[in-house]
Amino acid sequence: MKTAVAITGASGSIYGVRLLQRLPGEKMLIVSKTAKKIIPAETGMSMEEVYGLAHEVYEDDDLFAPPSSGSFRYDCLFVAPCSESSVGKFANGIADTLISRAVSVRIKERGRLVLVIRETPKSQIMLENELKLARCGAVVLDANPGFYSVPKTVDDIVDFVVGRAMDSAGIDNDMFLRWK
């Protein structure tokens, strides 16, 4: 299995980091400029540590990187966290960074795309953009944990959201207690 994780400049960078820690197989990573500032502040991890979780790392301004082409094959692109600014770009066909280009390619190629959106409350514009993307086949997964598993730590809450994202991509995981 080969997956890509894109981390945008929304709060919740731990979701992308945890995906990198738990996804099986080969992992690619793309990090936006703003996310590079948020990750150390929110996780206490250096960018070098985060880069070390991936097999390949691409700069967000590298539009010649493999994920920018429809002929490049991989199983799923996760955007986690996904800012609403990014959602707006994706929904309106703006592909001016590697992250937005990779999403555009996943949509046009009908590939698996999971957007872990981390913003609330939402405006009508945000909801309409999310609906556009869902209609194009993207999984729109708000970073909303379930509490039926009785989480005891922040890690439990993060694991629930990341486990549901992996479920959405058809990737088996045991990251949370499932409903019985």
Is the N-terminal amide bond of 40 cis, ω within 30° of 0?
no
Domains of the chain from N-terminus onward? 2-168 (3.40.50.1950)
pTM: 0.97
Helix axes 13-22, 33-43, angle to 10 degrees: 80
Residue 180 clears pLDDT 90, i.e. is over it = no
**What is the chain's mean pLDDT, rounded?**
97
- The predicted-structure confidence for 54-96, as pLDDT tens digits, reads as follows 999 999 999 999 999 999 999 999 999 999 999 999 999 999 9
User: What six digits make up the tokens of 32?
Assistant: 């936006």
Cα-Cα-Cα-Cα dihedral sign, residues 60, 64, 65, 71: positive
C-alpha to C-alpha distances, 12 to 81, 108, 133, nearest whole angstrom = 6, 27, 21
Averaged pLDDT, 20-24: 98
- Residue 143: strand, helix, or coil: coil
pLDDT at 86: 98
The rounded distance, in Å, linking the Cα atoms of 68 and 66 is: 5
